Structures are given as structure tokens and as C-alpha cells.
Chain A
Amino acid sequence: MMNWNLYSRGDKFFAIVVSVLVGMFTAATLYPFIYIAAVSFSSGFAAQAGKVVLTPIDSTLEAYKYILIQPEFWLSYRNTFIYTIGGTIMSLLFIIPGAYALSRPQLYGRRFLNLFVAFTMWFNAGLIPFYLNMRDLNLLDSMFGIIIGFAVNAFNIILLRNFFESIPESFEEAARMDGANDFQVLWKVFIPLSKPAIATITLFCIVARWNGFFWAMVLLSSEEKIPLQVFLRHTISNLSDDDEFAMTQLEAAYSAETVTAAIIVCSIIPVLLVYPWIQKYFEKGILLGGVKE
């Protein structure tokens, strides 16, 4: 955009200050992750003594061993995959056709129906009625309940609807004159034309599902159904109060903190693996939604 060689001395000074500030903020963002990783590979003793700053002290994998041999860890990992994949597919099954229908000018009561959807963004009944409703529907402690109960949200529908509305009418009209019905228009024209928007929504769904914690904690009571995040929470909060654990760690090379750090690392890794792929889309995606004329 601008050429360094054309910068005045003052501008160069300014640019250097800016680079340093950004560097500091970036380092501050990154540091906690490095710190956690360092703790996870340190011995419990070194961690307890507050020696870990940047690199592992008395490197050991004991904390990882402790966590990775627990079958509950793997079970919750599997559950999270089920919730993420199942939930995302379920979401798309509702959102794509719904957003398409809401974007059609020929839909009777379109204004009302759009308001019907959007209203839930501004007003919701809150935790208690939602919880009681799930109970009335017999969806407490149900994996299906988690998948269906959070399948749709107004924001994603509106985001995709806006994208569909921005597709020139003639695409639909041409397909119609060629003999396509609505399902064919959606499947053969709109979905291929909306790949970036659909990728963005898929991404939002995946991230929300992967990170989902609160409702899984509230709604699920069986150990074998809980997702990774709830398992993490249980482990993190139980370790420090657990006498039995306190006994074992006396002889072991791990502590509550190093185990916590190891769990954190284990659950961040999948996020880091898909992150580059995610990043391609979210910058566009976040701008798709938001403000509408």
C-alpha cells in the first residue's frame, strides 16, 4: 500500500513503534499457550515451586500419561466428535432449506416469518424455561437432545438468508425456465453458488459444538455421555480437592497443575490442526452477517 522508501523519518519512527506494539500484543496473546505447554511437560515439583516461565523444567510426560490412560478422557473425546459432527449436520439440514425459503420473495408472509425467526435474537425465554422445556420433551441426559436442541439459531439462518438474497434473481429464474423446481434450484444452483457462506456457517457450528460446555453440563448427567469440555471441567475442578489424587502425586512426577495443563494441550490440538483451514473462511464469514441494509 505505502512505500517504506517514501516514508519520512517521523513516519519510520512511527512505523517501528507500531510494529513493536503489535509484537508485544501478539506475544502476550501467545504467551499463555506457551506457558501452559511448558507446565504440562514439567515435573509436578518444578511447577509447584513456580519455576516454569517459558520452557519445561525437569521435562517429563507423566502428566500426559496420567490423563491419556483414563478411558473417560477418550470416551468424552469420542462424544465431542459425535456432538460436533452430528450437530453440524443437523444444523445444516435445518438452516440451508430454511434460509432458502425465507429468502424467496414469493413466500407468503415472508416479513412475518423473518421476524418470527429474528425475534429470538432479541428476546429469549432464558435458562430456566429452556431447561424445563427440555425436561418436558424428555431430552434431559440425551445425546439426541444436545444435537437437536441447539441445531438452529437465528443468527446463522439470517446470515445465510442474506447471502441467498444477494444472489442475482436471474440465476433462479433461468433455472426455473429450464424446468428446475425449488429443491433443484437450491441443490444445483444456490448451494454451489453459496459455498463460502455455507463453509462459514459450518465453521461456526463446528466451533460452537466443539466448545459447547454449559448446556452439556446442565443437561447431561451420565458420565458416558459428557463431551470433552465437561470432562475437562470435572477433572480440573476435582483434582485440587481430590485427596486420593493428592496422595498419588506425592510419589508421582505430576501435580494438579501439570495435569490440568496437559488436558488443556490435548484439547487445543484439534483446534490448532483445523485452524489454518478455518482461518480461510472466518474473516469473510464474520462480514457476511452483521449489518444488513
Chain B
Amino acid sequence: MSGVKLSQLVKRYGDLEVVKAIDLEVQPHEFVVLVGPSGCGKSTTLRMIAGLEEISGGEVTIGDRVVNRVAPKDRDVAMVFQNYALYPHLNVADNIAFGLRIRKTPKDQVQKMVAEVAEILGLTPYLDRRPADLSGGQRQRVAMGRAIVRHPLVFLFDEPLSNLDAKLRSQMRAEIKRLHKRLDVTSIYVTHDQVEAMTLADRIVVMNDGAIEQVGTPMELFLNPVNTFVAGFIGSPPMNQIRAEISGSSNAPVAKIGDQLLPLPASADVADRMGADVTVGIRPEHAEVHSLGTSPLNVELELVETLGSEALLHTKLADTPFIIKTETEEHFSTLDQVSAFSVNPHQIKVFDIDTGRVLGQAGA
């Protein structure tokens, strides 16, 4: 099993740099998800690993081989495409076997391998069907079957679930996860959907504007985003970000939001910015409305969005939209009377107002 290493990888289209010298090491067996808004360079990065896009600078290493000048077919990687790229004129079995036949695998072996893969993916009853006669989820599975059957060193996924409806998407998410557990092949997965990233990844790589913003496990990214971009991208709904002024004293700093005061965790970075503006980040999940702690903040409730076990309270805090996520159980009847929340100071993030970088956090 091999890992994948990107060093100072660059993609340029004329003067436009769409991937800006990124470094990344994917460990063998690891499932890494590249996530970011569209146009952030994640797909281009994946396509450079696949060999579908020429590399403008830097190196891609698969295993211990630099593959910059290796044709896609010789890189021993397999890719699942967004639109599946299933050949409409071939049935499921022939679609799965396409790559094996091109590589002149002996006939009986092809049959055995196809049957095996069909078994794993639950496609055995559909082997004679054409793609047009399959459901979205089945097509998705055929596309994966085509990748699996070749036993590649690395799987590449390019937004494979974006053509499915929400329900199928979560089903297929679980299936991909199971598959990875079973096959244990190094996988690189591109998506713009942070929920997919959170649920699938061993590690997530958040990209923006051609550069990597942060690499970490899903929970690291959720709890300790290094900047406002990651904070705003990971989590659903994303972290609330409010402009505030630091005041109080260096060992008991507070954020002044409008005319309300919010105690902050003490740190040297925060103390340095006494009197200056910062961005305060509070996760919707961390705002507590049922048993208010010390120094609660008053909010103006505008709308309650009920999701079932949870509800989203759309409020205004000092004229800035502020979303609170809370449980509905036992409290449902009183939700429309919420007028304040409190938050544990240790769950508050403080970001530099200009650079967006987190303040007072080790390693930041």
C-alpha cells in the first residue's frame, strides 16, 4: 500500500495560479478529503494526482515514485467521476470489465474479478443491465466497481455523490465508508460538501483560493479552526462570527458586543489587542439557552426553524444575525420565548479582524 505526497505542487493556466504550491502527505490506508468552495483548486489537485492535468510545478509522489511524467494508466490509481462516466453502450459487467479488457487480462480472470466486485457492491442482479436502466445509486456503485476491480494503489473520488438526492447521498456516504474499511486502500476524495468531509474523512484538507487553509481530523477542524474561513466552512450551520471590541483586563478580557459584555478566555494574543476590534466566533451548538450561565447575552429572536430533535433559532445579536442550535426535547414550548444565551468562555474563538487567524491558540 502506498501513500501520496504532494510537494510544492503548482497548477498555472497562463498567468493564473489555481493551485499555489501546496504540500500534503497522505498516509497509506488513509482516507483524506479535500474540501472547499468551487474554484478552490481541489479538483485540479486531484486531477494532477490522477495525471489528467499537467503539473506546472512541484512533484506528485505515489508510493516512492515521482509520477509527474507517468501516464495516468501507469500510475496505478483509479478514479470515480462526478458524472460516473459509465459507457451507455455497455452493460454493467462490461463497464466494470472495461479497464481489465483494455489491459488484456485473461478472460476467465476478468469474469471472476467482475463477479467478485459485483458481489461486494450488491450489483450481481444487475450485471446485464445498461446504465440507462439503473437508478442513481446503482450507477454510482457501478462507477465504484470500475475503480475497485483494478485493485489500484490509490482511489480518487471527484465529487462522486453530488448527482444524488439527499437521502441517497447519506446512504452512499455510509457505503463508501464501509468499503474503505473493507478494502483499506488509500483514498483521496474531493467534495464541496463539508458534511461529506466530516463523515468520511480520517483527515480533512480545507482548501481555499488554491491554497490549503488547514489540515486535520474532522473534530480538530470543528473545535479548533485556525481561521475564520475554516470556521465558516466547517459545521452546519457554520460558526457565528461577530465583530467585537476587546476590553476588561489582560487576565480577565471581555468582548464588547454592542453594549453587552462577553467574557473571553485569557491569552497573551488577546491581551495585546486591548481596545482593538476582533472577530468573535461562537458555534451555534455552544450557545446555551436553557440554563443560562454567568453573563448571558441578550438576543432578539426572529425565527424558530424546527428540524425535529433540534431547532435553529435565528436571532440578532447587536444587529448581527446569530444562529443558535438547541435541542427541542422538553423545551420545545418555550423556544419562542428565548431572549438570551450564555456560552462557556473556553468554547469561544477569537480571530484577528484583518487576517482572520485565530488568537491565543497553540500552534495557530
Contact = CB atoms under 8 A, between A and B. Distances in A.
Q: Do chains A and B touch in the complex (CB under 8 A)?
A: yes
Contacts of B81: 170, 173-174
30 contacts: A168-B83, A170-B83, A170-B84, A170-B85, A173-B52, A173-B72, A173-B79, A174-B79, A174-B146, A175-B98, A175-B102, A177-B50, A177-B52, A177-B73, A177-B77, A178-B103, A178-B150, A179-B73, A179-B99, A180-B73, A180-B102, A188-B87, A188-B98, A188-B102, A189-B87, A192-B90, A193-B87, A193-B88, A193-B89, A195-B89
Given A170-B81, A178-B146, A192-B89, 5 more contacts: A177-B52, A177-B78, A178-B102, A179-B73, A179-B99
Interface string B59-82: 000000000000111000111011
Nearest to B150: A178
A133 interface: no
B87 A177 contact: no
Contacts of B85: 168, 170-171, 173-174
A178 B95 CA distance: 11
B196 to A, nearest CB: 19
A70 B43 CA distance: 70
A188 B100 CA distance: 13
B87 A171 contact: yes
B72 A177 contact: yes
Interface of A: 168, 170-171, 173-180, 184, 188-189, 192-193, 195
A211 to B, nearest CB: 32
A69 B79 CA distance: 66
A interface, by DSSP: helix, strand, loop or mixed? helix
A168 B81 CA distance: 11
Contacts of A188: 87, 98, 102
A176 B52 CA distance: 9
A21 to B, nearest CB: 41
Contact of A170 (B51, B72, B82, B150): B82
Interface of B: 50-52, 71-73, 77-79, 81-85, 87-90, 98-99, 102-103, 146, 150
Given A170-B85, A171-B87, A193-B89, A178 B99 contact: yes
Contacts of A170: 81-85
A178 B87 contact: no
A174 B78 CA distance: 9
Contacts of B50: 173, 177
Nearest to B77: A177
Contact of B79 (A168, A177, A192): A177
A110 B111 CA distance: 41
Contacts of A180: 73, 102
A107 to B, nearest CB: 14
Contacts of A193: 87-89
Nearest to A180: B102
Contacts of B87: 171, 188-189, 192-193
A36 B88 CA distance: 47
B89 A179 contact: no
A171 B87 CA distance: 7
A180 B136 CA distance: 26
Contacts of B99: 177-179
A202 B195 CA distance: 50
A177 B73 CA distance: 5
Contacts of B88: 193
A178 B52 contact: no
Contacts of B71: 176
Contacts of B146: 174, 178
A180 B101 CA distance: 10
A189 to B, nearest CB: 6
A193 B132 CA distance: 13
Contacts of A195: 89
A135 to B, nearest CB: 45
A66 B332 CA distance: 99
A189 B150 CA distance: 19
A179 B84 CA distance: 17
A174 B50 CA distance: 10
Contact of B103 (A173, A176, A179): A179
Contact of A178 (B73, B83, B90): B73
Contacts of A192: 87, 89-90
B8 to A, nearest CB: 25
Contacts of A175: 98, 102
B205 to A, nearest CB: 22
B102 A179 contact: yes
Cβ-closest 6 pairs across A and B: A178-B99, A179-B73, A174-B85, A170-B85, A192-B89, A170-B81
Nearest to A179: B73
Nearest to B152: A177
A25 B305 CA distance: 64
B73 A176 contact: yes
A88 B83 CA distance: 35
A195 B52 CA distance: 26
Nearest to A195: B89
A193 to B, nearest CB: 7
Nearest to A106: B54
Contacts of B77: 177
Contacts of B52: 173, 176-177
A95 to B, nearest CB: 20
A193 B87 CA distance: 8
Given A178-B150, A193-B88, A184 B83 contact: no
Most chain A beta-carbon contacts within 10 A, residue among B78, B81, B84, B85:
B85
B56 to A, nearest CB: 15
